[in-house]
A and B are shown apart, each in its own frame.
Chain A
């Protein structure tokens, strides 16, 4: 690590950047899979209509908002 520092490479910053980019990619794919999951759930909610339908729709919307919030937070947060 000292050698890297002597060469002018900030090891810590590189690792931080790597973790951040990995987290952004992960959150992006996660949001995408969340969309698929919620889409599937809304479809099933229309196929099997139970009294919990409204509650489940609400939960799925909240879930998507949380995923979107996580992505935005990760992108905007200065680390």
Chain B
């Protein structure tokens, strides 16, 4: 009897996977992409049958701020030297080695700042699987949290793309809310929000259909 039940369960699971694979048919994106479909990734606490359909991070454009500031900070010592040269002023008469010490300390700080910003972007991840939606939230030097919503509890998925830049570069916010709106997950600055919204609502519909046994 239990064998038959297990077989039936496995069959249903297979059908769900087939249906969901139709929603996201092929792998897309590479390791550092803002959005990856069916990525070659795993996460802690992933169930044996759980498959990742979307792995998303903030749009690459959101990195432009810290990349620009890092480049600017890197140029400051050179700018200083050029300005001193133009105005024919002399730098204070310290040894070259002391300047080397100052520059090394300065550049290592600039490098750490860039590294911190990169980690902040890379691990602030949104994951959509065939069972749930997860929001990994990392605050460097302080905290790390994960929010999750089961797919079948998703009631509404809302997309919000406002502003010139967001329409030009195709990014936006996707809000995923449960029935009672007690749990809401926001995907901020997601690339291709229309596709993401569509995939999540389709996956949620499939999950709900099989939960209700229709």
Q: Which residues of A contact B (CB under 8 A)?
A: 12, 15-16, 19-20, 23, 26-27, 30, 33-34, 36-37, 40-41, 43-44, 46-52, 56, 63, 66-67, 70, 73-74, 77-79
Contacts and interface: CB of A to CB of B under 8 A. Distances in A.
Contacts, number: 97
A74 B101 contact: yes
Contact of B101 (A30, A50, A63, A77): A77
A12 B93 contact: yes
Given A48-B41, A51-B40, 5 more contacts: A63-B112, A70-B108, A77-B100, A78-B97, A79-B97
Contacts of B127: 48
A15 B100 CA distance: 15
Closest 6 CB pairs of A and B: A44-B123, A47-B44, A49-B42, A52-B31, A79-B98, A50-B41
B144 interface: yes
B111 A66 contact: yes
Interface stretch (B134-142, B166-174, B177-185, B191-199): B134-142
Per DSSP, are chain B's interface residues mostly helix, strand or loop, or mixed?
Answer: mixed
Nearest to A25: B105
Place the interface of chain B in its size category: 35 or more
Contact of B138 (A12, A44, A77): A44
14 contacts: A20-B98, A26-B109, A33-B112, A37-B140, A41-B119, A44-B138, A48-B44, A48-B127, A49-B41, A49-B44, A51-B41, A66-B111, A70-B105, A79-B98
Contacts of A74: 101, 104-105
Contacts of B91: none
Interface string B110-121: 011001100100
Contacts of B93: 12
Contact of B95 (A30, A41, A79): A79
B87 interface: no
Contacts of A15: 94
A16 B94 CA distance: 7
Contacts of A20: 98, 101
A70 B41 CA distance: 35
B130 interface: no
